[in-house]
Each structure stands twice: as structure tokens, then as C-alpha cells.
């Protein structure tokens, strides 16, 4: 069988693999003549709506990836877990700061995301700080659909909710794991957690990783996209009495990575992981974050406070023409400091307000404010005669020298009436107001043409409503429908064509209906949903025609997205877990939509795969009383995706297969693993780049086949 046919036959190969690993369990059950023990899937609690609730009770689409699953899959960054959620896709560069989640075709600029990542309740207002190494994480939630009625400005498409594990108040525990892989990849991670007293506990974790690059510069023979990072997290938790808790979490990450692996799209497909350029740059990033979380719960009210401080700096240098010729280079420095504060009151988790014998009320209300300061200095150095055949000296293009300052506040509330524990009617709304100031400079040195200066401010307000209805005909079955509005504030582009410095807010109405339930006496969990999204004044990241490799946000008009989602999880045997999901998205620009001066009506939205799907299994088998063998396999599928709004370049459908297996005992574990087992070649991110490239596009290859071993100890 040709290697190129392997990805297309992945489902059959995976099915055969599962049959092999499941057969011994079937034989054992038949030979013993005994019925398997009663088993059920564990209950999963999420905080998708800010208060803890069972995932099956949420009238919306939520995929929760638990701590056990994160460890089982070997998830190190959040995008590694994205295949568990249908209609979820990350446009991700080799540079760690370039990771942007997209739900149901909804995405936007990193500086104004449509899907915001929350780390322990703190929103990452810029995507530069959202994709970090995951340490001591208890759960990752992919919450699809507009969450603006609760979360506000940048939750139009949904949120990614990441929660840290709580330190242990009962005993000292710890883990050290060391993965080693091809491309000279080596890593070590360690964590420890335990009580300092009856009411005080702490945890500490630290990691270090390095690897060579996957992409080679043909001119020098050097690898470009290497990585080196150090990261850590410390946490202190105080529980003075039952139902009262205070946590302080500090995390930091320092990345010193290589250059972007960008190259001409056609040349990459002809010679994957090989580029040719005369200049080799770097991408550096430093992040520090401190979070203070307080929660107290009384008989009639629960109180929470979340305070977040986030600061980050990035610096990257790259060959702007991405060719062997010395035409242009770019140095870009960005930094930001943000502060967020949310105070919220709610009914106790398991004690709604009882209005009558058959009617109860759950409620929550809160206020949130934030400040964000952002500075950017980017300088393009253009070689003689490139800017003009009459200019024989180097040109420095400052695009931009910018300072942006934001202040915002939001007031929100949500109430759910519960009738006979069968019918839930939810109303919610949030009011947001933002003030944005900008000082922008774009100019040349020497000043061959006049530069542009902007010193101005804008304000934005919005009210985002929500209504949802959920009905439980049986305790283990729920049918729901919802209608809500998403909101994304307008703002300022640090660099853009003249007259496009500012952009307006974007809103979208989202209708969804679905069903959730459990089957087979709790051994099977399933959900299905249909959705329709309608945008107004859609914000789109479009290329700046005057500055190569630079984008700005523009309002392009209307758009529509509709589709379906299915999720399934099963535990047919105490030692067997199965899962599968499928999502279909039909995302198109509306009539009259104009992008970069061209009519894009009816075109497919960029970076929105037609479908996503995944299926997989995990199997355990005791070898002795002290040692257990385990294996895991999954196949992931992505449909065709357009790279630009004009739909002139695309990535065809592709699939990836991951396999891992090993053993564990009480104190020691080891495993071997392969990601992208059939070495599928694909381009997950590309964008228009006229002028410097023959194809008019540049892109980066997706991660090649990687394989390695991991070993560790626990106590």
C-alpha cells in the first residue's frame, strides 16, 4: 500500500487496531461466563457558565477534557486537545505566540480575538499570552457559541476555559516526567503538591524543554524553527473553613525560539520543510501572570472574586521577503500589561432559591473591569532599490510605532427558573462599555513620503442578551434551545492603510438547539446540536497592501455560519474507553460583503474547515497486581479549508493518526508514542503575500511525524 494512501485509510486501520486490543476483553468475558461489572462514565463538572455545573445540564455545547485525559493523550499545549471538540480548529504558527482558536468558522485577529482563552478565570485579552505550556491543569473546556451575555467583549465565538488543579490538603504528592523524541527533543517536568497545615496547601511545578527545528534553510543547512523554553507555576491555597477558599497562582514562561518556518506555498508543497532565505531570525516571548481567587459560600449566597495581572513581551526578527535575496527584514517588539477584576454573587451551587414547592431560582450577577496597555515598535528594513528603482539607500519603515490603552467594564446577570426539576428557563444579559485611546505612527526613514500620525480615542457600548430553554423528559436526557448575541468591541489598528486606522464593533446572533443524554445504564454519553450564526459588521483580518506580512482589522459586512455537531463517549468495559465526534460548518460571507476592495459575497470564510471529526480508544490491561499495560489510538480528520477571503488558495482534506502505549505501576510509568503516524503533509496556516512570492501565498507546514518515549515517577 503506498504511503500516500495511509491517511485516507486511517479509519479502517484504526478500526482494525481497536478490534485487536478489544478482543482479549471479549474473550475473557465469554470464557468466564460472567457478566461485566456495573460501570458508568464519570460525572464531569464544568464552569462554562462561571458556576460549577454538570456538563450535561448546560444548555449549550461544551466539551470538557479532564486531567486524566490530558495526561493520557500527552497534552502539553491547549491546541493538542482541540480534536476532542467538534468544529474546533487552531491556526497555529511555529512561533508560540501565533496560536488562535476558531469555533464554527468564527475567528479574528490575535489582538481582538473572537474566542478568548481564560486561565483560572482571567481572560487573555491578546492571543500572544494564551498558548502557554500547561502545568498542573485539571481541565480544559471548549465552550462553543457566544458567551458574551456572561463573559463580554471577546467571547463572540466562545471561550477556552483552563483551570489549574487545586493543591492537596490531605497528603504530599508529586510527579516527574521526562519525554524524549526525535528532532533532538528533550524535556523534563516536575510538580509537587501538599499541605503546609490543616488549612494551608501549596503546589509548585517547573519545566524545561528543547528541540531542533523541523524546517531546514537550504542556503545554510541550519534548522529554523527550533524551540527552547522554561516555564513554571506556584500556587498557595488557604481554606480557613468549609466552603471558604483563597488561592494565589503565579506562573511564568520564557521562550527563546527560532524563526518562522514560512515559505512560498507552492514551494513548500513541492519540498516540505525546506525553505531558502538569506536571513535567519528568532521569536522570543516572556509571560508573567498572577491570579488571586476568592470564594465563599453561605446558606443563601455564594461570593467570588477573581483578580488577574498579566504582562508579556515578545520580540521577533525575520526575513520579510522569505527568499534567498537580501530584500527586506523585519524586527517587531510588542509588550502589554493587563489588569482584570471580577466580583460576582450567586445562589449556592446546590441550593437554589426555593420559590414554591415546584419552582426554584438559580441566579448570578457581577461586575467586571479591565485595563490594558499595549505598545508595539516594528521596523522593516528595505534594501536599496527595492522601495523604488530610484532610491539607492536602505529604507527603514516604521510600521507601526504604536501605544494603545483600553479601559472597560461590564455588568452582567443571569437567572434560571427551574420547574419540577424538569424545565429550565434561563434569561441573561450583559452591558459592556469600553474606552480606547491610540497614539499611532507610521513613517519612513529617510522621509521619502509623508508619514501618518493618529492621536485619538473611541468608545463602544453593547448589551448582549440571552434566552435558553431546557427540558428533561427523563433524568438522563435533556433537550434544549438557546438564542444569544455575541459582541466584539471595535478598536484601533496599530498599522493599516490610511483611513483604516479604526474599526467598528461586531455583533452576531446565535441560535442553537440540541440534545444531551446518557445511554446503556450510564456507559454511553451522547450529544448533538444544530446551530446558526448571523454576523453584522464582521471584523476580518486582511493583509495590508502597503506592508508585506502585516494585517489589519476591517469590517467587511455580513456573514452566516450553520452546521451540526455530534459527540459520543462510551465505557463498554471497565478497562476500555471509546470516543468520537463530528462537526460540520457551512460558513459564508453574506451579500454585499467587501474585503480589500473586492466583493466576497458567497465565498467561504477563511480558516474554517468544512468538517472536523475524531475517533479513538484507550485500553488498559493488568499485567500483574502491581503493573498495568495501556494503549491509546485516535484518528483526527479535517475537511477542506480556504486560506483567504477570495478563496484562491486552500488546504484539501487531511487526516492524522496518533498512537501511544506503555505501562504504569504505583510509582513508575513509561510509554512510547507516535504523533501523525503516517507523516501526513499538510499546511494548516497560509495567507496572501503578493509581490515577494511566486504563488502569491506563504505558509507553514503542519507538524511532521514525531515519535518518542516518556518515563517518570509519581509519589
509-540 confidence digits (pLDDT tens): 999 999 999 999 999 999 999 999 999 999 99
Query: From the centroid of its chain, how far is CA 594?
Result: 28
pLDDT band, residue 549 (cuts 50/70/90): confident
Condensed to tens digits (0 to 9), the pLDDT of residues 633-684 reads 999 999 999 999 999 999 999 999 999 999 999 999 999 999 999 999 999 9
Q: Which pairs with CB-CB distance under 8 Å and at least 24 residues apart come from 469-476?
A: 469/59, 469/423, 469/424, 469/425, 469/426, 470/57, 470/59, 470/423, 470/424, 470/426, 471/422, 471/423, 471/424, 472/421, 472/422, 472/423, 473/422, 474/517, 476/517, 476/518, 476/519, 476/522
- Cα–Cα dist 698/693, whole Å: 7
Query: pLDDT above 70 covers what percent of the chain?
Result: 95
Look at the chain and report how many structural domains it folds into: 1
Q: What is the pLDDT of residue 215?
A: 97
Q: What is the pLDDT of residue 99?
A: 85
- Cα–Cα dist 617/614, whole Å: 11
Q: What is the pLDDT of residue 1?
A: 41
* Residue 396 DSSP SS3: strand
Grid coordinates standing for 6?
495511509
Pair 253, 230: CB distance under 8 Å:
yes
- Cα–Cα dist 458/408, whole Å: 12
For 513-543, letters b (16+ CB in 10 Å) and e give bbebbbeeeebbbbbbbebbbbbbbbbbbbb
pLDDT band, residue 10 (cuts 50/70/90): very low
* Position 705 pLDDT exceeds 90: yes
* Number of Cβ atoms within 10 Å of the Cβ of 41: 15
- Give residue 108's domain range: 3-714
* Position 213 pLDDT exceeds 90: yes
* Position 30 pLDDT exceeds 50: no
Q: What is the pLDDT of residue 227?
A: 95
Residue 173: CATH number of its domain? 2.40.170.20
Identify the helix (H) or strand (E) that includes residue 708: strand 706-714
pLDDT band, residue 127 (cuts 50/70/90): confident
As a whole number, the mean pLDDT across the chain is: 92
* Position 11 pLDDT exceeds 60: no
* Position 165 pLDDT exceeds 70: yes
Pair 349, 399: CB distance under 8 Å:
no
Condensed to tens digits (0 to 9), the pLDDT of residues 344-361 reads 999 999 889 999 999 999
pTM across the whole model: 0.93
The end-to-end CA distance of the chain, in Å, is 46
pLDDT band, residue 92 (cuts 50/70/90): confident
Question: Would you mind telling me the total number of residues written for the chain in this entry?
Answer: 715
Pair 568, 63: CB distance under 8 Å:
no
Q: What is the pLDDT of residue 550?
A: 84
Say if residue 155 is exposed, middle or buried (CB neighbours under 10 Å; 0-12, 13-18, 19+): buried
- For CA atoms 107, 109, 110, 112, give the dihedral sign: negative
Q: Tell me phi and psi for residue 202, to 5 degrees.
A: -140, 160
- Cα–Cα dist 70/62, whole Å: 16
Pair 225, 257: CB distance under 8 Å:
yes
pLDDT band, residue 37 (cuts 50/70/90): low
Identify the helix (H) or strand (E) that includes residue 513: strand 506-519
Mean pLDDT of 321-334: 94
Strands (E), 169-226: 173-181, 185-195, 200-211, 216-217
Amino acid at each position: 500500500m503506498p504511503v500516500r494512501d495511509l491517511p485516507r485509510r486511517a479509519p479502517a486501520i484504526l478500526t482494525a487496531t481497536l478490534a485487536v486490543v478489544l478482543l482479549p476483553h471479549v474473550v475473557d468475558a465469554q470464557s468466564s461466563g460472567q457478566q461485566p461489572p456495573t460501570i458508568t462514565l464519570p460525572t464531569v463538572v464544568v464552569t462554562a457558565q462561571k458556576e460549577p455545573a454538570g456538563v450535561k445540564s448546560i444548555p449549550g455545547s461544551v466539551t470538557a477534557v479532564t486531567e486524566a485525559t490530558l495526561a493520557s493523550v500527552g497534552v502539553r499545549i491547549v491546541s493538542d486537545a482541540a480534536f476532542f471538540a467538534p468544529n474546533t480548529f487552531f491556526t497555529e504558527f511555529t512561533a508560540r505566540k501565533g496560536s488562535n482558536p476558531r469555533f464554527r468558522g468564527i475567528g479574528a485577529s490575535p489582538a481582538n480575538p473572537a474566542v478568548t482563552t481564560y486561565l483560572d478565570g482571567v481572560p487573555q485579552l491578546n492571543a500572544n499570552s494564551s498558548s502557554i505550556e500547561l502545568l498542573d491543569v485539571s481541565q480544559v473546556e471548549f465552550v462553543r457559541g457566544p458567551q458574551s451575555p456572561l463573559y463580554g467583549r471577546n467571547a463572540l465565538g466562545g471561550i477556552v476555559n483552563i483551570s489549574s488543579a487545586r493543591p492537596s490538603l490531605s497528603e504530599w504528592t508529586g510527579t516527574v516526567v521526562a519525554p524524549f523524541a526525535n528532532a533532538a527533543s528533550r524535556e523534563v517536568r516536575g510538580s509537587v503538591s501538599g499541605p503546609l497545615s490543616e488549612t494551608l496547601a501549596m503546589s509548585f511545578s517547573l519545566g524545561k524543554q528543547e528541540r531542533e527545528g523541523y524546517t531546514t534553510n537550504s542556503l545554510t543547512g541550519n534548522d529554523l524553527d527550533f524551540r527552547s523554553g522554561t516555564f513554571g507555576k506556584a500556587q498557595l491555597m488557604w481554606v480557613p473553613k468549609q466552603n471558604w477558599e483563597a488561592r494565589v497562582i503565579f506562573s511564568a514562561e520564557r521562550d527563546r525560539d527560532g524563526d518562522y518556518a514560512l515559505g512560498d506555498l507552492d514551494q513548500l508543497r513541492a519540498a516540505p520543510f525546506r525553505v531558502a532565505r538569506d536571513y535567519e531570525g528568532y521569536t522570543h516571548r516572556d509571560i508573567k501572570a498572577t491570579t488571586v481567587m476568592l470564594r465563599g459560600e453561605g446558606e443563601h449566597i455564594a461570593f467570588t472574586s477573581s483578580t488577574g495581572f498579566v504582562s508579556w513581551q515578545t520580540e521577533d526578527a525575520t526575513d520579510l521577503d522569505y527568499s534567498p535575496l537580501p530584500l527586506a527584514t523585519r524586527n517587531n517588539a510588542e509588550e502589554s500589561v493587563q489588569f482584570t477584576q471580577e466580583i460576582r454573587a450567586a445562589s449556592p451551587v446546590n441550593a437554589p432559591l426555593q420559590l414554591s414547592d415546584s419552582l426554584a431560582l438559580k441566579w448570578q450577577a457581577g461586575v467586571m473591569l479591565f485595563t490594558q496597555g499595549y505598545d508595539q515598535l516594528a521596523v522593516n528594513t528595505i534594501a536599496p532599490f527595492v522601495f523604488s528603482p530610484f532610491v539607492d539607500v536602505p529604507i527603514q519603515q516604521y510600521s507601526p510605532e504604536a501605544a494603545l490603552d483600553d479601559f472597560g467594564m461590564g455588568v452582567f446577570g443571569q437567572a434560571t427558573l427551574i420547574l419540577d426539576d424538569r424545565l429550565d428557563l434561563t434569561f441573561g444579559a450583559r452591558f459592556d462599555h469600553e474606552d480606547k485611546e491610540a497614539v499611532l505612527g507610521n513613517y519612513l526613514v529617510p522621509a521619502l513620503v509623508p508619514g501618518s500620525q493618529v492621536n485619538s480615542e473611541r468608545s463602544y457600548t453593547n448589551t448582549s442578551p440571552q434566552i435558553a430553554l431546557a427540558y428533561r423528559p427523563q433524568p438522563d436526557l435533556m433537550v434544549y434551545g438557546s438564542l444569544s448575541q455575541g459582541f466584539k468591541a471595535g478598536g484601533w489598528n496599530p498599522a493599516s492603510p490610511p483611513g483604516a486606522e479604526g474599526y467598528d464593533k461586531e455583533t452576531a446572533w446565535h441560535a442553537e438547539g440540541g440534545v444531551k443524554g446518557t445511554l446503556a445504564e450510564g456507559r454511553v454519553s451522547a450529544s448533538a446540536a444544530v446551530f446558526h450564526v448571523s454576523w453584522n459588521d464582521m471584523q476580518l483580518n486582511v493583509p495590508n497592501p502597503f506592508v508585506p506580512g502585516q494585517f489589519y482589522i476591517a469590517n467587511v459586512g455580513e456573514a452566516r455560519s450553520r452546521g451540526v455537531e455530534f459527540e459520543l463517549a462510551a465505557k463498554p468495559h471497565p478497562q476500555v474507553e471509546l470516543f468520537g465526534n463530528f462537526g460540520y460548518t457551512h460558513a459564508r460571507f453574506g451579500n454585499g460583503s467587501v474585503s480589500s476592495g473586492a466583493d466576497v459575497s458567497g465565498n467561504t470564510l477563511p480558516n474554517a474547515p468544512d468538517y472536523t471529526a475524531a475517533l479513538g480508544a484507550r485500553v488498559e490491561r493488568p499485567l500483574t497486581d502491581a503493573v498495568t499495560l495501556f494503549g491509546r489510538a485516535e484518528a483526527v480528520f479535517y475537511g477542506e479549508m480556504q486560506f483567504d477571503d477570495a478563496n484562491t488558495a486552500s488546504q484539501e482534506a487531511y487526516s492524522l493518526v496518533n498512537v501511544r502505549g506503555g505501562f504504569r505501576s504505583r510509582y513508575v510509568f513509561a510509554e512510547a508514542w507516535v504523533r501523525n503516524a503516517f507523516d501526513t503533509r499538510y499546511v494548516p496556516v497560509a495567507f496572501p503575500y503578493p509581490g515577494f512570492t511566486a504563488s502569491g501565498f506563504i505558509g507553514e507546514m503542519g507538524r511532521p511525524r514525531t515519535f518518542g518515549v516518556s518515563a517518570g515517577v509519581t509519589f
